[in-house]
Amino acid sequence: EGQIFCLFVQLRLYNIASSFLSFGRFTRQPRLPHCADMYRLQSLATLTLDTLNPQVKAVEYAVRGPIVIKAGEIERYLEEGGTKPFSEVIKANIGDAHAMGQQPITFLRQVVALCTFPELMDSPSFPEDAKWRARRILQGCGGHSLGSYSASPGVECIRKDIAAYIEQRDEGVPSDWENIYLTTGASDGIMTILRLLVSGKDSSRTGVMIPIPQYPLYSAAISEMDAVQVNYYLDEDNCWALDINELYRAYQAAKLHCQPRVICIINPGNPTGQVQSKKCIEEVLHFAYEENLFVMSDEVYQDNVYTPDCQFHSFKKVLYEMGPEYFNSVELASFHSTSKGYTGECGFRGGYMEVINMDPEVKAQMVKLLSVRLCPPLAGQAAMDVIVNPPQPDEHSYKQFRQEKSSVLGALADKAKLTEQILNAVPGIKCNPVQGAMYAFPRIFIPPKAVEEAKALGMQPDMFYCLRLLEETGICVVPGSGFGQKDGTYHFRMTILPSIEKLKVLLGKVRDFHIRFLKEYSALE
Amino acid sequence: EGQIFCLFVQLRLYNIASSFLSFGRFTRQPRLPHCADMYRLQSLATLTLDTLNPQVKAVEYAVRGPIVIKAGEIERYLEEGGTKPFSEVIKANIGDAHAMGQQPITFLRQVVALCTFPELMDSPSFPEDAKWRARRILQGCGGHSLGSYSASPGVECIRKDIAAYIEQRDEGVPSDWENIYLTTGASDGIMTILRLLVSGKDSSRTGVMIPIPQYPLYSAAISEMDAVQVNYYLDEDNCWALDINELYRAYQAAKLHCQPRVICIINPGNPTGQVQSKKCIEEVLHFAYEENLFVMSDEVYQDNVYTPDCQFHSFKKVLYEMGPEYFNSVELASFHSTSKGYTGECGFRGGYMEVINMDPEVKAQMVKLLSVRLCPPLAGQAAMDVIVNPPQPDEHSYKQFRQEKSSVLGALADKAKLTEQILNAVPGIKCNPVQGAMYAFPRIFIPPKAVEEAKALGMQPDMFYCLRLLEETGICVVPGSGFGQKDGTYHFRMTILPSIEKLKVLLGKVRDFHIRFLKEYSALE
């Protein structure tokens, strides 16, 4: 208990302490009064917690929140020779595949390296299929250089490649390259579309429907833009499925105090890992059509589907199959990224969105908004191009590419299964199948005594649990409260990205910890 | 006249037309009424110009505005075999060096290519000094990969390199690496700091002091965040110097309707090209200190100083020299970028900001905000590292690096001089010396008859002028009204980036056009 209280105090004191430690050198010093300066003695800095933009203050983002800061501190402590009951911190908090040892796809890196340093075009160690892709990308760049700004929506030939990829993925459903916008990761696209949609005051303020649990980019963006968060709860008892009745309930309840104008869906789910059925998507789209909602479909995990009975259906394809009535009217933005899938290229900050049925005048406004930020990073655009335009069976690099891709996806499928199995064998933990994406989101039983203790510390019970897990095992996961969950239920999100060996160790430690934790707090009752 | 009217109508019709042309396929079609759907017939799309976020609507960004869209249309027209009085469009609207043919710095690209494709570490064609830098950067990356997210403020060793660079640049003034934040270009950093500072309602709403003329990122960000723009006018008769009395005037006037809390300075100036004297910087900092203003110092052109009697002084160094009273209290953020200087790597979207005297609690809030966006692109961070950690005299790559760097900067200095000289020889054009940055911002005389004609078309006179320049010569420059200017004065901004041969042609065409234009409209009087 003392230890946890210490942790809590540490967290609370983090800011205050940092003013004396890390930031000491530049911290405002007490000043000697002199004549012209007397009145300033009362004043603090211009920008303080009191004067800070209140919308910034309201933002929360658990994936890199206090528990992750704490993990970093422990890591540094270990590096400096400190001792803990473990030798390393395992960061299962964030979907960062390369940080967990996943190797890049060779072909993707070859193309981006060729674009970066075109002298390599003469090198015999680079394959021709990579070279022609790099040449083609560079021909689309100003001065044939990755160092030029692109048009704000992205390089034209890359937009065309993306449209072709979507048409193929969706078995012929038309995709217009002028509806494609490259983005700085998917987050950037999601923020852009939300920014357009937020308007109105008081009860006409834009309501944004989001799943609970959700990826906290959504809640953070909603806070930052001062929109109204409208929660619809996923059905944990039904593999986190989206229940259409719950959508109607949430919508009707929200209409009393805001104007719901957009519905966000994450498919496959983050943090929940479910893959939506076609029927469910149809229901959502029909609902959006009926209620005149803009649909934002976060499909960054479209290549991450693991269970044989599940299949990724794009919202756009389902919309098309519902007929022109729907396909020509529902406003839909879907998002993709270089960061997930089998490439895991988070650091490139690449991504795109496809936006259909957007009012042309609004589109012009959006392009204007994008143009202020100039353009997404060109290396990320190039990486995106490789993802949508990979080696074909008749090309030299195909074999290696296919082997690397299936090796990554195969390992993820194994780890998804393994994670579910081991967690479900632990008393007091229940984990839905990880059908897709990169996370398990198990429900954990926290004994009432532990809940009480956490509350006495002013902490969410699952935060208390995750902090103890971190302190005792070195495993860093994110409390369910950072994603949202039904009142009285507790979860954590962990990635399935560590290598299979490390994942087994990690899951074993979680099991042992959980059993200890249950025992400790049940003994108290 | 008919031609200009046509252009105008074209611009006005741009959005409407696009709904029938480029966006045609996905435009909402008239639908046959059926029962459950009747009420929807009256409704338009969810997101229309009426429901769009009004702050987005208010944004303007001339550098990629209507004249640039028009230039793109003419380019396509020429490509498709159309004829004009010229054979190519010369885009002197945007500071995009590589698009104008500037070659990348070899060493920078070598390091980034090595980071992207580490197999190249074995290649004898890459020098060791590039390899060790790449190895060092990769050691700072998760999984030693550019594909990992970095910490939100950037890779630690790169932050340290930047701090060391600043200390050296500022002749020993201390720089703490924990005050350094990598950004996605300088624009991203500027937006982040402004976002923190915007708060309050009505007369307590944050006022942001910006120079006029300004780089329109500032006015766009202010609109987007619904802050209050407070203009202070640079003194055109005095080489666009900042006049401290004008600062006080602007501040006092603004206090009546908002709360000025931040002052933005662009040094060297964009679009105005002046380099601020040390004395002027001292005055600004004293003013900020007195009035308790946060200082944002946009120093992305710090390496672009051309005239021997001018020197770049960083705001931070000047602040330090004013004594600890100032250095320990004035809140200052300064911004740098990979996009300008001698590298011109716009497409990498690299940059950093150094923030001093920020309240530690606010700093924690800023890091939280940055963490929602995950991290700046890693290739851009790597490029930034090379800029602050270039080859040293005892290293293999030094000679080539120095030669490439001085060749770019020497050519820019020549072009700055040439531009000023040729423009000043044209009757009715007056151009201040281009002391730094990458732009000339000449004042142009527009005859009253032309002003009248423009106004009749509902157009700014300098927009009218620039559109005719584009239509008649293929030269794309940005009207002064996009940057702000004193009422009744007219300007345009052109970059000095085209090759010297092309620049001579361009300036000759501007001269001939201007003389024709004066003649045409004087003849009318």
What per-residue confidence (pLDDT) applies to B522? 86
Within 13 Å, how many C-alpha atoms sit on residue A73's CB side? 15
Residues of A in contact with B362 (CB under 8 A): 45, 47-49, 52
User: Buried b vs exposed e over B60-97: b needs ≥16 C-beta within 10 Å?
Assistant: ebbbbbbbbbbbeebeeebeeeeeeebeebbbbbbbbb
* Among A105, A212, A436, CA closest to A302: A436
User: A37 pLDDT exceeds 60?
Assistant: no
Residue B412, pLDDT above cutoff 90: yes
- A24, pLDDT greater than 50: no
Clarify whether residues A425 and A512 are in a common domain: yes
Residue A133 maps to a domain: no
**Which tens digits make up the pLDDT trace of A330-357?**
999 999 999 999 999 999 999 999 999 9
* pLDDT at residue B391 tops 50: yes
A350 and A208 inside one domain: yes
Domain count, chain B: 3
Q: How much is the CA Rg of chain A, to the nearest whole Å?
A: 25
A196 inside 8 A of chain B by CB: yes
Which pLDDT belongs to residue B523? 64
Q: Has residue B446 got a pLDDT over 90? A: yes
Percent helix / strand / coil, chain A, rounded to 5: 50, 10, 35
pLDDT for A32 beyond 50: no
Under DSSP, the state recorded for B441 is -
| CB environment A178-212: b (16+ within 10 A), e (fewer) | bbbbbbbbbbbbbbbbbbbbbbbeeeebbbbbbbb
- Give the pLDDT of residue B57: 84
Residue pointed to by tokens 């029938």: B20
Tell me whether residues A364 and B47 touch, CB distance under 8 A.
no
Contact B178 A23 (CB under 8 A): yes
C-alpha B430/C-alpha B267 separation (Å) is: 21
Which among B372, B386, B478 is the top mutation candidate for probing chain A, defined by the most A β-carbons within 10 Å of its own β-carbon?
B372
Phi and psi for B242 in degrees, rounded to 5? Answer: -90, 125
| Segment A293-306 mean pLDDT | 97
Query: CB of B225 within 8 A of CB of B194?
Result: yes
CB-based contact B363 A18, cutoff 8 Å: yes
pLDDT at A523: 64
For the purposes of burial, counting CB atoms within 10 Å of the CB of A238, is it exposed (0-12), middle (13-18) or buried (19 or more)?
exposed
pLDDT-based confidence at A11, cuts 50/70/90? very low
B377 vs A379: CB contact, 8 Å cut-off? yes
The distance of A231 to chain B (nearest Cα, Å) reads: 20
Give A-chain residues touching B97 at CB under 8 angstroms. 147
Confidence (pLDDT) at B21: 35
Q: Does B199 touch chain A (CB under 8 A)?
A: yes
- Cα separation, A250 vs A233, whole angstroms: 8
Quickly list DSSP for B133-188. Answer: HHHHHHHTSGGG-TTSPPPTT--HHHHHHHHHHHHHHTTT----GGGEEEESHHHH
- With H, G, I as helix, E, B as strand and everything else as coil, classify residue A8: helix
Map residue B278 onto helix, strand or coil: helix
Q: Domain containing B431: what range? A: 62-101+402-523
Strands in B227-385 per DSSP E: 228-233, 259-266, 294-298, 332-337, 351-356
Size of interface A-B (CB pairs under 8 A): 357
Provide the pLDDT confidence category of residue B44 given band limits of 50, 70 and 90: low
Query: CA–CA separation, B186 vs B339, rounded Å?
Result: 9
Q: Which two tokens stand for residue B71?
A: 């230039």
Tell me, yes or no, whether A410 and A276 share the same domain.
no
Which CATH number is B514's domain given? 3.90.1150.10
Rounded to whole angstroms, the maximal C-alpha distance in chain B is: 81
**Same domain (yes/no): B481, B413:** yes
Helix/strand/coil percentages in chain B, nearest 5: 50, 10, 35
Judged by CB atoms within 8 Å, which residues 417-436 of B form the interface with A? none
Q: Given CB atoms, is B87 within the 8 Å cutoff of chain A?
A: no
Rg (CA), chain B: 25
Classify residue A140: in a domain, yes or no: no
Q: Which of B65, B142, B174 sits opposite A98 (nearest CB)?
A: B142
User: Closest to A361 (Cβ–Cβ): which among B15, B148, B290?
Assistant: B15
Residue A515 counted as domain residue = yes
Region class of A166: left (phi > 0), else alpha (psi between -120 and 50), else beta: alpha
- Measured between beta carbons, the chain B residues lying within 8 angstroms of A146 are 347-348
What integer pLDDT is reported at residue A30 of this predicted model?
40
Compute the average pLDDT of residues B420-443: 96
Whether residue A342 contacts residue A105, with contact meaning beta carbons closer than 8 Å, is answered with yes
Residue A9 pLDDT: 41
pLDDT above 70 as % of chain B:
91
Q: What's the confidence (pLDDT) of residue A44?
A: 66
Q: How many residues in chain A?
A: 525
d(CA A239, CA B72): 51
CA distance B250 to B230: 7
The pLDDT assigned to A56 comes to: 87
Residue ranges of A 322-381 with Cβ closer than 8 A to chain B: 324-325, 328-329, 331, 343-349, 356-366, 368-369, 371-380
CB-CB: which of B117, B357, B372 is closest to A109? B117
How confident is the model over B11-33, as a mean pLDDT? 38
Name every chain A residue with its beta carbon within 8 A of the beta carbon of B262: 46
Angle made by CA atoms B262, B268, B270, in degrees to the nearest 5? 75
Residues A455 and A516 in one domain: yes
List of chain B residues whose C-beta atoms are within 8 Å of the C-beta of residue A52: 196, 199, 362, 365
Question: Hey, is B509 helix, strand or coil?
Answer: helix
Distance in Å, alpha carbon of B287 to nearest chain A alpha carbon: 12
In the predicted structure, residue B146 carries a pLDDT above the cut 70 = yes
User: Are residues A506 and A493 part of one domain?
Assistant: yes
In a shared domain, residues A159 and A273: yes
> Which residues have CB under 8 Å from A116's CB, separation 6+?
A146, A379, B109, B112, B113, B116, B379
CA B81 to CA A190: how far, in whole Å? 39
Distance CA A31, CA A174 (A): 68
Chain B contacts of A371, Cβ < 8 Å?
61, 63-65
In a domain, A107, yes or no: no
Share of chain A above pLDDT 90, in %: 83
Q: Does B41 or A505 have the greater pLDDT score? A: A505
| Residues B348, A281: Cα–Cα separation, whole Å | 38
Same-domain pairing of B409 and B494: yes
Which pLDDT does position B49 carry in this prediction?
87
Q: How confident is the model at residue A186 (pLDDT cuts 50, 70, 90)?
A: very high
Mean pLDDT value of segment A231-258: 96
CB interface of A with B, residues 291-310, below 8 Å: 292-294
Q: Give A354's strand partners.
A: A180, A334
- The answer to whether position B297 is within a domain reads yes
Which residue in chain A is spatially nearest to B22 when comparing CA positions? A178
Residues B211 and B289 in one domain: yes
Rounded Cα–Cα distance for residues B446 and A374 (Å): 31
What is the distance of C-alpha A347 from the center of its chain? 13
Q: Which amino acid is at B88?
A: E
Instruction: Give the pLDDT confidence of A56-91 residue by residue, as tens digits.
Output: 888 887 777 788 889 989 988 999 999 999 999 999
The pLDDT assigned to A55 comes to 87
Nearest beta carbon to residue B113 from set A22, A64, A120? A120
Mean pLDDT of A446-470: 94
Angstroms from B525 CA to nearest CA on chain A? 39
- Whether A33 has its CB under 8 Å from any CB of chain B: the answer is no
3-state SS of B42-102 is CCCCCCCCCCCCHHHHHCCCHHHCHHHHHHHHHHHHHHCCCCCCCCCCEECCCCCCHHHCC
A116 to B120: CB separation less than 8 angstroms, yes or no: no
Q: What is the DSSP string of A69-122?
A: HHHHHHHHHHHTT---SSS--EE-SS--TGGGTPPPPHHHHHHHHHHH-GGGGG
Instruction: Tell me, yes or no, whether B293 and B435 share the same domain.
Output: no
Tell me: pLDDT of A135 over 80: yes
Task: Tell me whether residues A117 and B110 touch, CB distance under 8 A.
Answer: yes
Selecting from A23, A117, A344 the residue whose C-beta is nearest the C-beta of B360 gives A23
Interface with chain B: mutation pick from A19, A26, A222, highest number of B CBs within 10 Å: A26
**B230 — phi, psi (to 5°)?**
-115, 110
* Neighbour tally for B32: CB within 10 Å: 8
Largest Cα–Cα separation, chain A: 81
Distance from CA of A19 to the nearest CA of B (A): 6
Question: What's the rounded Cα separation, in Å, for the pair A509 and A472?
Answer: 9
Q: How far is A139 from chain B (nearest CA, A)?
A: 11
Between CA B383 and CA B339 the distance in angstroms is 10
Please give the pLDDT value at position A334: 98
Q: Does B64 touch chain A if contact means CB atoms closer than 8 Å?
A: yes
Per-residue model confidence (pLDDT) at position A62 = 74
| Ramachandran assignment for B13, one of left (phi > 0), alpha (psi -120 to 50 degrees), beta (any other) | alpha
In the 8-state DSSP scheme, what is residue A23?
T
B138 lies in a domain? no
* pTM of the model as a whole: 0.89
Is the pLDDT assigned to residue A279 strictly greater than 80? Answer: yes
Strand pairing report for A475-476 and A351-356: unpaired
Inter-chain CB proximity B143 and A220 less than 8 Å? no
pLDDT band at A48 (very low <50, low <70, confident <90, very high): confident
Please give the structure tokens belonging to residue A420: 């579910």
Give the CATH number of the domain where residue A226 resides.
3.40.640.10
Percent of chain B with pLDDT over 90: 83
Residue B62 in contact with partner chain A when CB distance is under 8 A: no
Chain B residues with CB-CB distance to A325 below 8 A: 31, 37
Distance CA A382, CA B348 (A): 11
Q: Is A23 part of the contact surface with chain B (CB cutoff 8 Å)? A: yes
A440 and A292 inside one domain: no
| A326 and A411 share one domain | no
The distance of A456 to chain B (nearest Cα, Å) reads 25
CA distances from A450 to A407, A493, B137, B477 (A): 42, 19, 44, 67
Q: Which residue of A has its CA nearest to B32?
A: A325
Would you call B347 and A104 a contact, using CB atoms and an 8 Å cutoff? no
Q: pLDDT category, A126, cuts 50, 70, 90?
A: very high
Of the candidates B360, B328, B262, the residue with the CA atom closest to the CA atom of residue A37: B328
What mean pLDDT is reported for chain B? 90
- On whether residue B168 sits in a domain, the answer given is no
pLDDT of residue A31: 40
Q: What is the mean pLDDT of residues A247-271?
A: 97
Which residues in chain A touch residue B357, judged by CB atoms under 8 angstroms apart? 26-28, 45
Side chain identity at residue A513, one-letter code: F
The Cα A156–Cα B101 span in angstroms is 20
Weakest-pLDDT range from A386-395, B28-37, B422-431: B28-37
Mean pLDDT value across chain A: 90
pLDDT at position A243: 94
CB contacts, 8 Å: A365 with chain B = 49, 52, 56-57
Q: What percent of chain A has pLDDT over 70?
A: 91
pLDDT tier at B4, thresholds 50, 70, 90: very low
Taking the C-alpha atoms of residue A338 and residue A380, their distance in angstroms, rounded to an integer, is: 8
Residue type at position A101: G
pLDDT at A13: 39
SS3 B204: helix
* pLDDT over 60 at A417, yes or no: yes
Q: Which residue of A has its CA nearest to B60?
A: A368
How many C-beta atoms surround the C-beta of residue A112 within 10 A? 33
Is residue B340 scored above 90 in pLDDT? yes
| Interatomic CA distance for residues B344 and B102, integer angstroms | 8
Candidates B346, B347, B364; nearest CB to A15? B364
Structural domain contains residue A128: no
